[in-house]
A and B are shown apart, each in its own frame.
Chain A
Amino acid sequence: MSDITARFKLNYPEFSLDVDLHLPSRGVTALFGHSGSGKTSLLRCIAGLERAEVGHMKFGEEIWQSDSVFIPSHRRPVGYVFQEASLFSHLSARGNLDYAIKRAPPTDHPISLDQAVSLLGIEPLLERHPDKLSGGERQRVAIARALLIQPRLLLMDEPLSALDLPRKLEILPYLERIKQELDLPILYVSHAPDEVARLADHLVAMERGRAIASGTLNDTLSSLEPSLKLGEEAGVVLEGLVIERDETWHLSRVRFPGGELWLRDSGHSVNSPIRVRILARDISLAKQQHADTSILNSLPAIIEAIAADHHPGMLLVKLRLGESALIARITRRSADALALAENQPIWAQIKSVAVI
């Protein structure tokens, strides 16, 4: 499958959008940024709901927008999930799903009604009207409806931001299942670091209508750009597989591209995928591997880059471990004492790993 090309220029009195992006056509791509950064406008341009004065949009080999072409939104093979559930109030949950089924184009491997209903766990809700559903339930029905139009690209505009934390935690696992079970590229707009950390494979960081970074999640988060952080703390996300569970010590061993980590057992079974977040402040560096320490995870790495942090006493160090990268925050004094330099081998001592 080929990729998505999106080049848009949009000018409003208070706001302008100017992006030129190549996005992968698999996995979850997060469009991440503060409100007003243009991520929703970008998504609406991709959907054809907004028409940029200058726009070139290609999905694989299909041109959706160019100087001479503009495919109207109702002819684009996309599913769209809005921020607030946009179920049709005059139809029941099932009626809303039927609305999509009736209009879905024929495909080779359609997502069936049963599959969509079980993926989102909405079987008991089907006969109810939208005003009799909770916010989280409405959003699950809206996601199922977007899947039943048989999209080749799923666009989600902050689908969880209108929900309170318990509702949000209720829906996130469903999104993870969609990601794992369907071969469907997803563009996911969000300003919430936790959602991005859990779902994204690829990250586009937006600021004031511009894309300031675009790359795999690990690459973008491990770059030493001070503006590229998920939330307050610099840190990376690693995705791996559980390969062992130690019953005696209640630990599990996780292999990720570039190394292995011991974690507190989080109930994940062997061979299940797992994501962990490691913050820069939780990594310290040592020239030798120490045996007499309480730190469980000590990994050999290569120093790839060193950059200033926002505090003059601190430095950020990017560490390379095979295909993955970590970042560590250490004091300038320690860096000087250890005489750290690029391309030097070093031991990364990881004090804390959060399963997400």
Chain B
Amino acid sequence: MPFTAGDLTAIWLTLKLALLVTVLLLLIGTPIAWWLASTRSRLKIPVGAMIALPIVLPPSVLGFYLLVAMGPQGIVGQLTQAMGIGTLTFTFQGLVIASVIYSLPFVVQPIQNAIEAIGPRPLEAAAMLRAGPWDRFFSIVLPQARPGLLTAAVLGFAHTIGEFGVVLMIGGNIPGETRVVSMQIYDHVEALDYSSAHTLSLTMVGFSFLVLLLLYTFNPRATLSTGLK
């Protein structure tokens, strides 16, 4: 059962999306996690709750509001139009933004937990060794939170690959632009092409298993729970 040309396009698009989103998630999620782990601000709890929203909301709800916001009448849509980019709905870029928001809690929470587990002592010790705040972040926080970062990256990656509802709402189903593997499988099933759906689905199962196998091999204590608080 070889892949169809459409399958390959979808696989390539999905990998591209997931990799890009994972990188963005780590870049955005790490400072947020650091802030949440170390702040004494009263904003900590509301901000934490807001970031955790996608865990409990149906993806269609999130997708719907993103669709509205990015559409021609939405705040984001107006902004992007003023900047001359047009609207982001039904584009790859729009999908990237939506995926980042959708997967953010799955990245922030493991990193936050890992940073909180370090505790204040190593950071005080580093300060007494003349390490300033940035130095402490790069020389102590990042290396000691590495298992959390790895878990976060895997979770972010896996979630992006697995998403369906948000893509459906905001991306539509445009080949090479927004038609990711989960959409492609849906299309195969709609067309009653169960054999093609099997091929892709089995590939997904194998791939996901492999990713988790690697994660647990290198980081036996990793959990895929998000530590919802």
Known contacts A88-B140, A89-B144, A90-B143; A103 and B129 CB within 8 A of each other: yes
Query: Are B130 and A105 in contact, with the CB atoms below 8 A?
Result: yes
User: Which residues of chain A are near B129, meaning CB under 8 Å?
Assistant: 74, 99-100, 103, 145, 149
CA distance A80 to B122 in the complex (A): 12
Does A82 sit within 8 A of B, measured CB to CB?
A: yes
Interface string of A52-87 (1 = CB under 8 A from B): 000000000000000000001111001110101011
Query: Are B130 and A149 in contact, with the CB atoms below 8 A?
Result: yes
Query: Are B130 and A80 in contact, with the CB atoms below 8 A?
Result: no
Of B125, B131, B143, B146, the contact of A80 (CB 8 Å cutoff)? B125
User: Which residues of chain B are near A105, meaning CB under 8 Å?
Assistant: 130
B144 to chain A, nearest CB (A): 5
Q: Which residue of B lies closest to A104 (CB)?
A: B130
Interface string of A137-163 (1 = CB under 8 A from B): 000000001100100000000000000
Interface string of B144-175 (1 = CB under 8 A from A): 10100000000000000000000000000000
Of A78, A79, A82, the contact of B121 (CB 8 Å cutoff)? A82
Does A45 sit within 8 A of B, measured CB to CB?
A: no
* Chain A contacts with B in 93-117, Cβ cutoff 8 A: 99-100, 103-105
A193 to chain B, nearest CB (A): 27
User: Which residues of chain B are near A49, meaning CB under 8 Å?
Assistant: 124, 127-128
Known contacts A86-B122, A88-B122, A99-B139; A73 and B144 CB within 8 A of each other: no
Known contacts A75-B130, A103-B131, A104-B130; A82 and B125 CB within 8 A of each other: yes
How many chain-B residues does the 8 Å CB contact rule pick out?
Answer: 17
B119 to chain A, nearest CB (A): 10
Does B132 sit within 8 A of A, measured CB to CB?
A: yes
Query: Are B144 and A90 in contact, with the CB atoms below 8 A?
Result: yes
Query: Are B130 and A103 in contact, with the CB atoms below 8 A?
Result: yes
CA distance A120 to B125 in the complex (A): 19
Give the residue among B125, B135, B146 with the most A Cβ atoms within 10 A. Answer: B125
Query: Are B128 and A146 in contact, with the CB atoms below 8 A?
Result: yes
Query: Are B132 and A74 in contact, with the CB atoms below 8 A?
Result: yes
Does A254 sit within 8 A of B, measured CB to CB?
A: no
How many chain-A residues does the 8 Å CB contact rule pick out?
Answer: 24
CA distance A79 to B146 in the complex (A): 28
Q: How many A-B residue pairs have CB under 8 A?
A: 58
CA distance A273 to B144 in the complex (A): 45
User: Which residues of chain A are near B127, meaning CB under 8 Å?
Assistant: 49, 72-74
Of B121, B130, B140, B144, the contact of A74 (CB 8 Å cutoff)? B130
A157 to chain B, nearest CB (A): 11
Known contacts A90-B143, A90-B144; A47 and B130 CB within 8 A of each other: no
CA distance A341 to B179 in the complex (A): 103
Query: Are A73 and B128 in contact, with the CB atoms below 8 A?
Result: yes
Query: Are B144 and A86 in contact, with the CB atoms below 8 A?
Result: no
Query: Are B121 and A86 in contact, with the CB atoms below 8 A?
Result: yes
A35 to chain B, nearest CB (A): 18
CA distance A72 to B122 in the complex (A): 16
A203 to chain B, nearest CB (A): 24
CA distance A316 to B155 in the complex (A): 72
Give the residue among A75, A78, A103, A149 with the most B Cβ atoms within 10 A. Answer: A103
A124 to chain B, nearest CB (A): 23
User: Which residues of chain A are near B140, meaning CB under 8 Å?
Assistant: 88
User: Which residues of chain A are near B132, meaning CB under 8 Å?
Assistant: 72, 74
B129 to chain A, nearest CB (A): 5
CA distance A105 to B131 in the complex (A): 12
CA distance A171 to B144 in the complex (A): 29
CA distance A88 to B118 in the complex (A): 10
User: Which residues of chain A are near B126, meaning CB under 8 Å?
Assistant: 74, 88, 99
User: Which residues of chain B are near A74, meaning CB under 8 Å?
Assistant: 126-132, 135
* Chain B contacts with A in 77-128, Cβ cutoff 8 A: 121-122, 124-128
User: Which residues of chain A are near B124, meaning CB under 8 Å?
Assistant: 49, 73, 80, 82, 86
B218 to chain A, nearest CB (A): 15
User: Which residues of chain B are near A75, meaning CB under 8 Å?
Assistant: 130
CA distance A47 to B126 in the complex (A): 13
Of B122, B128, B131, B143, the contact of A78 (CB 8 Å cutoff)? B128
Q: State the B residues within 8 Å of A (CB).
A: 121-122, 124-132, 135, 139-140, 143-144, 146
Pairs A–B under 8 Å by Cβ, sample size 18: A49-B128, A72-B127, A74-B126, A74-B127, A74-B131, A74-B132, A82-B124, A86-B122, A86-B125, A87-B125, A88-B126, A88-B140, A89-B122, A89-B144, A90-B146, A100-B129, A103-B130, A149-B130
Q: State the A residues within 8 Å of B (CB).
A: 47, 49, 72-75, 78-80, 82, 84, 86-90, 99-100, 103-105, 145-146, 149
Add 9 more A-B contacts to A99-B129, A103-B131, A149-B128 (CB < 8 A): A73-B127, A74-B135, A80-B128, A86-B121, A87-B125, A88-B126, A103-B135, A146-B128, A149-B129
The 5 closest A-B pairs by CB, nearest first: A80-B128, A86-B125, A103-B130, A90-B143, A74-B127
